[in-house]
Structure 1
Amino acid sequence: MQPRALTFCLTPNLHRELVRSQSNYSRNLTKRRVLKRVEGSSIRIRFVMPFDNQPKLDAAGERSTYLSPLSTRYASSAMRETFSDEYRFRLWRKLWYVLADCERSLGLQITPEQVEGLRLAAEEHFPLPLEAAAAYEAKLRHDVMAHVHALGDQVPIARPIIHLGATSCYVTDNSELLQQKRGLELLQRTLWMCIKELARFAARYRDLPTLAYTHFQPAQPTTVGKRACLWIQDLLIDGQQLERVQKELKFRGVKGTTGTQASFLALFDGDHRRVRQLDRLVTERMGFAESFPITGQTYPRKQDFLVLAGLAGIGQSAAKMANDIRLLQHMKEVEEPYEANQIGSSAMAYKRNPMRSERINGLARFLQTLVLNPAETASTQWLERTLDDSANRRLAISEAFLTADAILQLVLNISRGLVVHPRVIESHLLQELPFMATENILMAAVRAGQDRQTMHEAIREHSVAAAARVKDEGLDNDLLERLKADERFACIRDRIDALCDSSEFVGRAPQQVDEFLDEHVYPALEARHELVPDTPAENSILDSAGVIRV
């Protein structure tokens, strides 16, 4: 039997590998790595050169065109890859292979060689002819058909059955759902690692008293660990919401041009059972539990809103945490990590700016507005479908995932390196604690035999004087010294300091931390142990030189 011809397009990367060495041995070794994947098949490989229209680089090595900062500065490489053209187009090829394989298994006249050719073309290391596809698209003005033709050129034997019975949304919608599925998995991994790091922080500072603030005015004390639990609880809600969204994420499946499956019904000679089987088989092969039972040409755009709403929740939680850290860093109580050579200001060399937290707030503001796009898109689709969703979704969905990823990378970095300054916290606490302790002092004096009204007036007088000293003269709070010097308080003078022990004013905060971690956080982390490895990974916002991209 004559071997079938299968064309490999030499992409720039593969070509560089082949010509890196002048020796035939090196070139043949590289070819063999590719050829090994088709060993034993009846398919012959042919290498051809691609079109020479790669984007040119300027002298600085940057492309002379706009690139999203999410790709160049903020998002992780894994998330960038997930929403890249190459990853999406490889999903198209996998979808075409799975469709053909399932159609063949249900009796359509498709040969094993045709399916094998599509399988090989869907492999990760198979060259992807992006230049050839771009040339076809310039001619045909249709991205899906451009890739159908490019794939047909590479796998001529399968050309007659590529995309058989399908509409464009079979590959576009389903591949986007696969991208979202993987994106949700990546976000959950980082999110639960953030929760784990913050849980360590909360446990460490479970009983360190600190001033609480309502209206950003001093209020009854809490603990540093208890405050961190507020951040963790929000992230827990986000993690659980992302899991719900991912679990309920449905595949578009095999539905045809307007969702009626008419083309597949014709292919299977009116056999409804096999059409339903095809939909189910393709859905399962692509890793989904179920597909939408009813669609128009596209899957319901309402699902995009539900996904992006979950991502926007991450922005809300991270922004609240970042705002808190910015306020605390202003007071010098808690600081985000600071690199040894980091510069806070080009003019003010002493500055230590909370730039990570500020960046979180900026990115979160952008992320929370993106959810408006799928809401509008879902509400304005006409009948079975209109194309005004396309451009908007290309922007909103990918940008939302990359932004949420960038935010969580920053939260993870901050969580691993938060710096606490207990002495500063204590100093601020002591400025306010004497006022808060006055009720305890009053009760102790009454129990020692003093008149309540007399002692209340004495405390009021001293409190007013101490407050004036703090506000008008900028001096320390000397209320306790004033009370100790007042003979009316001589009966409890030696107990006044003990009555102002800060640990007595935090209520159940330490116990609440323990209970929250033991009953909610640790069980949730244990149930997701595969997402949160025991050994912390390197912070992915650091580049190869260990520099954080601002």
Structure 2
Amino acid sequence: MIERYTLPEMGNLWTDAYKFKTWLDVEIAVCEAQADLGYIPSDAVREIKAKANFDPKRVLEIEAEVRHDVIAFLTNVNEYVGDAGRYIHLGMTSSDVLDTALALQMVSSLDLILQRLEDLIVVIRQKAGEHRYTVMIGRSHGIHAEPITFGFKLAGWLAEVLRNKERLLNVRKTTAVGKISGAVGTYANIEPRVEALACEKLGLKPDTASTQVISRDIHAEYVQQLALLAASLERFAVEIRNLQKTDVLEVEEYFSKGQKGSSAMPHKRNPIRSERLTGMARMIRSYAVAAVENVALWHERDISHSSVERVMLPDACILTHFMIFESIDLIQNLLVYPDNMARNMNCYGGVVFSQRVMLTLVEKGMRREDAYRIVQENAHTAWNKIDGNFRDLITHDARVKEQLSSTEIDACFNPQHHLQHLDEVYQRLGI
């Protein structure tokens, strides 16, 4: 991933240096496990741990000749270790190192994502609390529907982020598996006890039934859950973009002093962060497709997944992490305009209260079909701005006046009726 969208703490997990470190961690854990079980001398393991090291540049130099990254790595490590190096990688295959180390990288990346997600949860909950009673219009199909509050909208975002958190915690469990089972997974030259001990030392569990590799459905699920989180963050961003339109302007991204929105139009204040989030979600979704394509490997393994994962996994993790960071700042500093929300809600003279008028007429004994027709006639007249606003039209409609008093009509246009149960939703979410 390009540096522009990479935060250091996540980017560091996907460097060659960190990758080789995890490879060495796996090799040492296996040596320790074999020593614990009496397969290799404990003195040799102590010597390996004391001397083992690597030089990323030297590894790449050797790889250019041997065209095999794990062999290049082991060659370089043995240059540091000397004679005791003969016990490194004993009975193992390359994927024992690669897949187990990859699990460590994926879990560490997920831990960073979950940490950031906790910060986002705090920010959304706080902003929802600030606007729990900030009334605005709810929209369906992009059309004015009925009153809600901005806090209620944010409550929906919070609930979605909490679901994403639970999904990621679950996928962390399925991802945290290693395999030290040999060339085709049969433990022909290394026994399962070594795998179990080594994985325990690394904070992993042994894969239930590996082949030469850990099955890629695990990796596909991982990326799909990142894509789902990205889709949620995109949904929030798209909502902000829609609410920031000039003719709506109910919320707006913070625009800093000195910031410029256009090289041609000095007045522009564009929702660039929300648009950036939308684009990033598209990239992560594309990786979810690639991850699924990786599942169907030939027989006990082919290498077609490798080139995909070298790009897909770092990018998906780095982008997701960055998206959360951007979302935190976006929501924390979001400008909210309650006056514009009130103006937009009332722009057709209360037409958004049509259901309440209809139901009140039904409660008074009018047939639903008749009540619907009467209210719709008045609503469409108001919508088309033919002859007054909706509230005035309803107030002066003789058919309505026969059923409802002026006080009862006024009650139909009280937005508090629509908000009376929202505290229950807030309570569920700790808002």
TM-superposition CA deviations, 1:388-432 (whole Å, max 9, x none):
121112122222111211211111111211221000000011114
Using the TM superposition, give the Cα deviation of residue 158 of structure 1 relative to its aligned residue in structure 2, in angstroms: 2.7
Match in the other structure for 2:49: 119
- Asked if residue 511 in structure 1 is aligned to residue 426 in structure 2, the reply is no
Partners of 2:363 and 2:229 in 1: CA distance? 52
Q: TM-score, normalised by structure 2?
A: 0.88
- Asked if residue 293 in structure 1 is aligned to residue 208 in structure 2, the reply is yes
SS of 1:469's equivalent in the other structure is coil
Report the residue type matching 1:335 in the other structure. E
Report the residue type matching 2:135 in the other structure. P
Question: In structure 2, do the counterparts of structure 1 residues 385 and 453 end up closer, same or farther at CA, with 3 Å as the change threshold?
Answer: closer
Report the residue type matching 1:325 in the other structure. I
- Asked if residue 129 in structure 1 is aligned to residue 55 in structure 2, the reply is yes
Match in the other structure for 2:284: 367
**Which residue of the other structure, out of 112, 134, 138, is the alignment partner of 1:212?**
138
Match in the other structure for 2:327: 411
- Asked if residue 426 in structure 1 is aligned to residue 350 in structure 2, the reply is no
Partners of 2:133 and 2:180 in 1: CA distance? 57
SS of 2:178's equivalent in the other structure is coil
Using the TM superposition, give the Cα deviation of residue 479 of structure 1 relative to its aligned residue in structure 2, in angstroms: 4.3
**Which residue of the other structure, out of 26, 43, 57, is the alignment partner of 1:95?**
26
**Which residue of the other structure, out of 314, 318, 321, is the alignment partner of 1:402?**
318
| CA RMSD, 1 decimal | 3.1
TM-superposition CA deviations, 1:58-92 (whole Å, max 9, x none):
xxxxxxxxxx32xx111321111111111010111
SS of 2:146's equivalent in the other structure is strand
Using the TM superposition, give the Cα deviation of residue 454 of structure 1 relative to its aligned residue in structure 2, in angstroms: 12
Structure 1 contact 220–506 (Cα < 8 Å) conserved: no
**Which residue of the other structure, out of 205, 214, 239, is the alignment partner of 1:324?**
239
Structure 1 contact 373–392 (Cα < 8 Å) conserved: yes
Partners of 1:179 and 1:260 in 2: CA distance? 25
Partners of 2:413 and 2:74 in 1: CA distance? 77
**Who wins on radius of gyration, i.e. which is larger?**
1
- Asked if residue 158 in structure 1 is aligned to residue 81 in structure 2, the reply is no
Give 1:232-243 correspondences, 5 Å limit: 232-243=158-169
Using the TM superposition, give the Cα deviation of residue 356 of structure 1 relative to its aligned residue in structure 2, in angstroms: 1.0
Give 1:336-355 correspondences, 5 Å limit: 336-355=253-272
Question: In structure 2, do the counterparts of structure 1 residues 515 and 276 end up closer, same or farther at CA, with 3 Å as the change threshold?
Answer: same
Using the TM superposition, give the Cα deviation of residue 119 of structure 1 relative to its aligned residue in structure 2, in angstroms: 2.4
Question: Greater shift after overlay, 181-190 or 131-140?
Answer: 131-140
Using the TM superposition, give the Cα deviation of residue 444 of structure 1 relative to its aligned residue in structure 2, in angstroms: 8.1
Match in the other structure for 1:110: 41
Using the TM superposition, give the Cα deviation of residue 251 of structure 1 relative to its aligned residue in structure 2, in angstroms: 2.1
TM-superposition CA deviations, 1:222-271 (whole Å, max 9, x none):
1111111221222122111110111222423310111111122xxxxxxx
SS of 1:347's equivalent in the other structure is coil
Partners of 2:314 and 2:376 in 1: CA distance? 61
Flag structure 2 segments of 5+ consecutive residues without an equivalent: none
Partners of 2:97 and 2:7 in 1: CA distance? 25
- Asked if residue 83 in structure 1 is aligned to residue 9 in structure 2, the reply is no
SS of 2:186's equivalent in the other structure is coil
Using the TM superposition, give the Cα deviation of residue 219 of structure 1 relative to its aligned residue in structure 2, in angstroms: 0.4
Runs of 4+ in 1 over 3 A off after TM superposition: 436-448, 452-470, 477-499
Report the residue type matching 2:427 in the other structure. E
Match in the other structure for 2:95: 169
**Which residue of the other structure, out of 171, 188, 194, is the alignment partner of 2:120?**
194
Question: In structure 2, do the counterparts of structure 1 residues 382 and 482 end up closer, same or farther at CA, with 3 Å as the change threshold?
Answer: closer
- Asked if residue 501 in structure 1 is aligned to residue 414 in structure 2, the reply is yes
Flag structure 1 segments of 5+ consecutive residues without an equivalent: 1-67, 265-274, 523-550
Question: In structure 2, do the counterparts of structure 1 residues 433 and 291 end up closer, same or farther at CA, with 3 Å as the change threshold?
Answer: farther
SS of 1:304's equivalent in the other structure is helix
- Percent identity, aligned pairs only? 25
For these two proteins, the number of residue pairs brought into alignment is 425
Report the residue type matching 2:7 in the other structure. S
Give 1:368-517 correspondences, 5 Å limit: 368-379=285-296, 381-432=297-348, 434-437=350-353, 466-469=382-385, 478-480=389-391, 499-508=412-421, 510-517=422-429
Match in the other structure for 1:547: none
Match in the other structure for 1:532: none
Using the TM superposition, give the Cα deviation of residue 438 of structure 1 relative to its aligned residue in structure 2, in angstroms: 5.6
Partners of 1:444 and 1:79 in 2: CA distance? 57
Structure 1 contact 210–426 (Cα < 8 Å) conserved: yes
Match in the other structure for 1:303: 218
TM-superposition CA deviations, 1:272-322 (whole Å, max 9, x none):
xxx23211110100001x211321111111111111111111121111111
Using the TM superposition, give the Cα deviation of residue 343 of structure 1 relative to its aligned residue in structure 2, in angstroms: 1.4
Give 1:170-185 correspondences, 5 Å limit: 170-185=96-111
Question: In structure 2, do the counterparts of structure 1 residues 478 and 280 end up closer, same or farther at CA, with 3 Å as the change threshold?
Answer: same
Using the TM superposition, give the Cα deviation of residue 445 of structure 1 relative to its aligned residue in structure 2, in angstroms: 9.6
SS of 1:221's equivalent in the other structure is strand
Q: TM-score, normalised by structure 1?
A: 0.70
Partners of 1:89 and 1:313 in 2: CA distance? 30
Report the residue type matching 1:282 in the other structure. A
